[in-house]
Structures are given as structure tokens and as C-alpha cells.
């Protein structure tokens, strides 16, 4: 079995596990993870925080907009060539539209945020190790984007089910700088 097959199998198994979590538990766990993220967000300095619009099985980061309104938030839009760009949003219900892969994306006319202007980049993933290894969704979007965020703290938030003892990795798979998990 090669690494790609193993990654695919881990993704399938993990996604099934995450989709089986009852919504009330996912909401409670998301709230706890946002509280655990607080040390990065507290203080008087206005930060630019790059988050993602969550799929139903992911950590819900959208309440951060109300919990820490002093900061500026940006969400990704998929571009050709498996590239990302981030745009500033104020209200996800108003500022997003259907995007690639069925994921809501910011409207293209919203102000773009340059990678070097991001203070905190919150990175999605399917599975993680305690050492910060990350298994993404397989498109490589974030693996291409992360190196451009030269000034950002790279943070991932993970449910307890997403923490595995080992993940198959390849040279292009980037570790997360800070892993916050349950």
C-alpha cells in the first residue's frame, strides 16, 4: 500500500468518524476549542485572522467574528492551479457565496488580504498528530499557501477524534506551528 492510498483511507475513515459526531457535541467542542484559542486573540492589538468557513464536520470558527470583534477576519477563495487567496469578511452570511468544491467562499469583490498581512492563519485538516503533522483534504491548497504567510502564527484546531499517533507524510506536507486540540 503506498502513501497516497494510506492517506486516502485515513481521510475516508476520519471523515466518517467526524460526520458521526452529534451536532450538539460538535458545537460544544468547537466552543471549547475557540476558548483554547483565546491566548492568541486577546489583547488590544488589532489582528488579521485568517479562518475558514467550516464544513458541517469541522470546528466552527465563525463565532470568532462576534467573540473577538476587534480583529479583522479573512476567509479563503480557491483559485485555478490549486491556489488560495483570502478576502476580508465581516458577516459570513452576507459576504460569502457558493465556491469551489461546494465550500462557501468570500465574494470576489471584497478586499483581498495579502499573505504577509495575516497575523494568525488557522489551518483546516482532517487529522493531526500531537507533533503537528497534518493530513489535509488532498488538494494541497494550504501546503502551497502557508509558506507565503511569513508573519503569521500557523494554528490548527482539532477535535479529540482527529488526533492520531502517526500520519504518513511526504516532503510537501507542512506541520502546523501550534496545534490546539481536545
The mean predicted confidence, pLDDT, of the chain is 94
pTM (predicted TM-score): 0.94
pLDDT of residue 3: 57
Dihedral of CA 148/153/156/157: which sign? negative
Domains and CATH numbers, the chain: 3-181 (3.40.50.10420)
Q: Kindly report the number of other CB atoms within 10 A of residue 170's CB atom.
A: 9
CA gyration radius, the chain: 16
pLDDT over 90 percentage in the chain:
86
Amino acid at each position: 500500500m503506498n502513501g497516497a492510498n494510506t492517506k486516502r483511507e485515513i481521510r475516508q475513515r476520519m471523515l466518517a468518524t467526524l460526520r458521526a459526531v452529534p451536532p450538539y457535541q460538535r458545537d460544544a467542542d468547537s466552543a471549547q476549542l475557540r476558548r483554547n484559542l483565546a491566548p492568541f486573540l486577546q489583547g488590544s492589538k488589532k489582528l488579521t485572522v485568517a479562518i475558514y468557513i467550516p464544513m458541517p464536520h469541522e470546528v466552527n470558527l465563525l463565532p470568532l467574528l462576534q467573540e473577538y470583534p476587534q480583529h479583522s477576519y479573512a476567509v479563503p477563495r480557491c483559485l485555478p492551479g490549486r491556489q488560495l487567496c483570502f478576502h476580508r469578511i465581516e458577516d459570513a452570511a452576507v459576504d460569502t457565496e457558493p465556491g469551489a468544491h461546494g465550500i462557501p467562499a468570500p465574494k470576489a469583490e471584497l478586499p483581498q488580504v495579502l499573505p504577509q498581512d495575516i497575523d494568525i492563519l488557522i489551518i483546516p485538516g482532517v487529522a493531526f498528530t500531537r507533533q503537528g503533522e497534518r493530513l489535509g483534504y488532498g488538494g494541497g491548497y494550504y501546503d502551497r499557501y502557508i509558506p507565503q504567510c511569513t508573519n503569521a502564527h500557523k494554528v490548527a484546531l482539532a477535535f479529540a477524534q482527529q488526533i492520531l499517533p502517526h500520519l504518513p507524510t511526504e516532503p510537501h506536507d507542512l506541520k502546523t506551528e501550534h496545534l490546539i486540540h481536545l
